[in-house]
Amino acid sequence: MVRHCVERSNADENGHILDATKVRHVTIKAGKIESLSGLIDPASHLNLDYPDHRVTTCVIAENFSVGAQIQFSEQGLAFATIDPSSYNHYGFVDYTQRLSDMIDAIKYKRNSNMNEPDSVKTKE
């Protein structure tokens, strides 16, 4: 199961996330983190201009590491919510281009003999 996740230290006792930029996607298996990604991009996940992609709730994990325990409540997974003040207007985000850039970067990383794609090159 893939979920948005927050570390226990980033959620208060009332289940509110303290810093919404410190959320990650994780894969959960058997109540533990099986794999995790980098931090979310606020322009896509905290963007008031794209309500369908906005993150609102996150499961709570002890920490961000493979094998870390996910917290449970009496109803199942324990969740923390993002405060409405964490959202902002970031404007248009070209998700198609981002996906294309991500695919290029993955291909490049898998095969270092390839020419570095423009989307991966360091901008100076």
Please write the tens of the pLDDT for every residue from 10-39.
999 999 999 999 999 999 999 999 999 989
Closest CA to 6 of 55, 52, 58: 58
Task: Name the burial class of residue 1, with classes exposed (0-12), middle (13-18) and buried (19+) by CB atoms within 10 angstroms of its CB.
Answer: exposed
Residues 124 and 69 in one domain: no
22 and 71 share one domain: yes
- Region of 91 please: left (phi>0), alpha (psi -120 to 50) or beta: left
The mean per-residue pLDDT over the stretch 77-81 comes to: 96
Condensed to tens digits (0 to 9), the pLDDT of residues 106-116 reads: 888 888 765 56
At residue 102, φ and ψ (nearest 5 deg) are: -65, -45
The DSSP call for residue 18 is S
Percent of the chain with pLDDT over 70: 90
Distance CA(12)–CA(29), nearest Å, equals 25
DSSP 8-state code for residue 123: P
Residues 65, 110 within the same domain? no
Mean pLDDT for all residues in the chain: 89
Q: Which domain holds residue 109?
A: 94-124
Beta strand 57-61 pairing with 2-7: parallel
A 10 A CB-CB count for 117 gives: 14
User: Is the same domain home to 30 and 82?
Assistant: yes
Q: How many domains does the chain have?
A: 2
Same domain for 105 and 57, yes or no, is no
Whether residues 114 and 87 share a domain: the answer is no
